[in-house]
Chain A
């Protein structure tokens, strides 16, 4: 079974509007972390936001927020006030277990295009 599922291969959003990128995960661990990354065409992986499994509040970082629904095992990324520079591939990832020395498992990604 897929550990991280991103069901939207591509998404379009109008500039200045908000967009939600979906991510569901599968784990039997009680302790885990969820990450979102942005990958522009240059290839670099830009860290956006992190949500720990024990965090009671949804994480927020500027225009990015994570809609964490633990019971549904979903960790959707919300980008508010979209900008043309937000056009990129977005990856959801999970680290299972405690300890930073654990690898991330990535979803298949969502290609976001912001329209002027």
Chain B
């Protein structure tokens, strides 16, 4: 089946630093990728839709200047958490749909901001 990779799998950083998370579709091209956030014992919440060749679409309440998304190619989207603070600590996970009947997720990135 289609594979989506995500890197890093976990990261610990100091408050005020920026963290970049990469999401790659390994065996298919993805013009669209999605970024979700999941807090402990909660469901996944969509943060933004990443579009290759155009600007990302952010969900209401998500600061686009804080969560920078770049869809650099048909197989790579990056999420940069700028000036991270402890409240940004969460599980970030990306997904990509190779076809209508499937949407695969990366393994996720656990971010801890000290």
Q: How many A-B residue pairs have CB under 8 A?
A: 60
Stretch at the interface among A17-25, A74-82, A100-108: A100-108
Q: Which residues of B contact A50 (CB under 8 A)?
A: 101-102
Q: Which residues of A contact B107 (CB under 8 A)?
A: 42-44
Q: Mark A50-69, 1 if CB is under 8 A from B, else 0.
A: 10100000000000000000
Question: Provided the pairs A101-B31, A104-B95 are in contact, do residues A43 and B110 lie with their beta carbons within 8 angstroms?
Answer: yes
A109 CA / B105 CA spacing, docked (Å): 17
- Confirm or deny: B113 has a beta carbon within 8 angstroms of a beta carbon on chain A: no
- Per DSSP, chain B at the interface is strand
Residue pair B99, A100 in contact (C-beta under 8 Å): yes
- Confirm or deny: B32 has a beta carbon within 8 angstroms of a beta carbon on chain A: yes
Residue of B nearest to A91 (CB): B43
For chain B, give the interface size range.
20 to 34
A104 CA / B104 CA spacing, docked (Å): 11
Q: Which residues of A contact B103 (CB under 8 A)?
A: 35, 47, 95, 100, 104
Residue pair B100, A52 in contact (C-beta under 8 Å): yes
A35 CA / B104 CA spacing, docked (Å): 11
Residue pair A108, B95 in contact (C-beta under 8 Å): no
- Confirm or deny: B34 has a beta carbon within 8 angstroms of a beta carbon on chain A: yes
A109 CA / B40 CA spacing, docked (Å): 12
Question: Provided the pairs A103-B34, A104-B95, A109-B43 are in contact, do residues A45 and B105 lie with their beta carbons within 8 angstroms?
Answer: yes
Residue pair A43, B108 in contact (C-beta under 8 Å): yes
**Which residues from chain A sit less than 8 Å from chain B, CB to CB?**
33, 35, 37, 42-45, 47, 50, 52, 91, 95, 98-101, 103-109
